[in-house]
Amino acid sequence: MRTSSCALPLLLARGAQSFASPFLSRNLAGGRQLRGDAGRKESGLFDLPPETAVLEDVSTSSAETAVSGGADDGPSASFNPPSGGSGTVVIAEDSEFVKSDPDQRAYRAVTLPNKLTVLLASDPETDSEAAAVHVRAGHFDDPKDRAGLAHFHEHMLFLGTEKYPGEDDYEDFLGKNGGTSNAYTDMEDTNYYFNVSPLNHGGEKSDGGTSEALEGALDRFAQFFISPLFDESMLERELRAVNSEYLNGRTQDNWRSFQLMKHGASHDHPFSKFGCGNYETLTNGGDATLEKEGEKEGEVEQIAFGGGSSPRTALIDFWTDKYHAGNIRLCVIGRASLDDLQKSVEKTFGSVRPPPPGFVANGIVDQIKAGILKKRSPEAGSHITDSEGNLVFQTEGLTYSPAVAFGPEQLGLIREVVPLVESRTLKIFSLVPPSDDPMLASSHPFRVLSHLLGHESPGSLHHLLEEEGWINSLSSGTG
């Protein structure tokens, strides 16, 4: 994954997660190179606190939604916001946000008529305007016959939409406005982000509204989630780009170690999936090296999809199923006022498809609230036992039940690995309860343990081992 030169989009992505954290003083109611990391920590972005109202409860005007996808056409969607007013519901104003003293930005959280939740940030002094979209869909959602589809899908969204069909229309616009973009695919989430300079090429706007650079970028960005093309003519090239990422990863010890850990998990659990994907898995058995004789003597041609099948239909199905307003969150920061930023978002992202009827986000809290999952009831205080009498947590093992990533057969093992680059590393993995379990949400014991194990002060584990000359570094964390 290419690192962005601007940290703002990443901060915005964290801001989106704050919708499910004590970021508010009250609970909410109502360049493509090397793009895509195939594995990171799981996000709790869509797991709202138990007392938080589900967004489905926000009353909005009804609207018609049409989605289609054929062999020749990309997916299309239409949503007409209600007339006679914006229909946007404000769920938190600036005064309701808990901010640090140096933070002079103004914030607002809103829900658009299509039920898209948006965090707005106004900063008149910023030198970089930005936006990020977080989607609750990652490589855990890959179909069995298309390993790496979520990652490949992320790549393809950058290559043209119905409104801006040129494969470079989006990034060319960003480049002309001093901006950059990137994205990554996680286990349960995918994140897209960009930044631009606050430019108005026709001079400063007299009304002080959203800059031409930000509004133009938002318009192009929104089309990813409204009408992407998934152009058949670009599939082969992008398949080979993903395959290059895979081949590059095979030469990196950290990547190989992570894949070994995934392979060692229960194959009934989505953690074991091959998130990066390669040419073979994405074409359902294709061989990137297959060639045939061309029309001219001595000429060779690549065989379409290496003798496998086109992943285009799978891409359209994935987008149709996962990329709607109920499954994404948007964050925007700009110099304009909150009112102007809100108008820009309504204008550009207001046509994103609403969630389908009865939609429930794939998060533990959301699933419990909807009655799909049932958390265990404590028999005596906070102590909960399973059928075998073992102490467990309320949400432990629920999301992908009955599958468990690391059960008794996968634990208590020692694996020795010969690295490609000479190094001597000891890694110890321990199974821990869900970090967002209600019993742990306020105490965060993992942070305390990680801090104690990784601390470098005199008398710490790091200090003692280093004094003996046994280590060069020591780190600890959860994920």
pLDDT digits (tens, 9 = 90+) for 10-48: 333 333 333 333 233 333 333 333 333 333 333 333 333
pLDDT surpasses 80 at 377: no
| Max Cα–Cα distance, the chain, nearest Å | 81
**pTM for the whole structure:** 0.79
* pLDDT score, position 173: 97
Measured CA distances, 168 to 159, 191, 224 (Å)? 7, 20, 13
Which residue matches tokens 């990813």? 224
For 119-133, what is the mean pLDDT? 97
More confident residue, 64 or 334: 334
Mean pLDDT of 211-232: 97
Query: pLDDT at residue 428 above 70?
Result: yes
Strands across the sheet with 328-334, in order? Answer: 89-92, 106-111, 117-122, 328-334, 129-135, 190-196, 180-185
pLDDT of residue 73: 65
Query: Are the C-beta atoms of 315 and 101 separated by less than 8 Å?
Result: no
Mind telling me the catalytic residues? 154
The answer, yes or no, to whether residue 400 has pLDDT greater than 60, is yes
Q: What residues contact residue 293 under an 8 Å CB cut-off, 6+ apart?
A: 299, 300, 301
Q: Of 444 and 81, which is predicted with more confidence?
A: 444
Instruction: Give me the helix-helix angle, 212-222 and 338-349, nearest 10°.
Output: 30
pLDDT of 134-161, one tens digit each?
Answer: 999 999 999 999 999 999 999 999 999 9
Q: Would you state the pLDDT for residue 39?
A: 34
Q: Looking at residue 370, what is its pLDDT? A: 80
Give the tokens for residue 174. 């960003």
Predicted confidence at residue 43, as pLDDT, reads 33
Greater model confidence, 289 or 128: 128
| Cβ–Cβ < 8 Å for 434, 477 | no
Q: How far apart are CA 87 and CA 27, in angstroms?
A: 21
pLDDT band at 54 (very low <50, low <70, confident <90, very high): very low
- CA distances to 76, 292, 294 from 300, rounded to whole Å, are 37, 5, 5
pLDDT more than 70, % of the chain: 76
Mean pLDDT of the chain: 81
More confident residue, 75 or 167: 167
Condensed to tens digits (0 to 9), the pLDDT of residues 254-278 reads: 999 999 999 999 999 999 999 999 9
| Tens-digit pLDDT profile for residues 232-255 | 999 999 999 999 999 999 999 999
Q: In the prediction, which pLDDT does 440 show?
A: 83
Band (pLDDT 50/70/90 cuts) for residue 294 is low
Non-local CB neighbours of 44 within 8 Å, separated by 6+ positions: 17, 20, 363, 435, 436
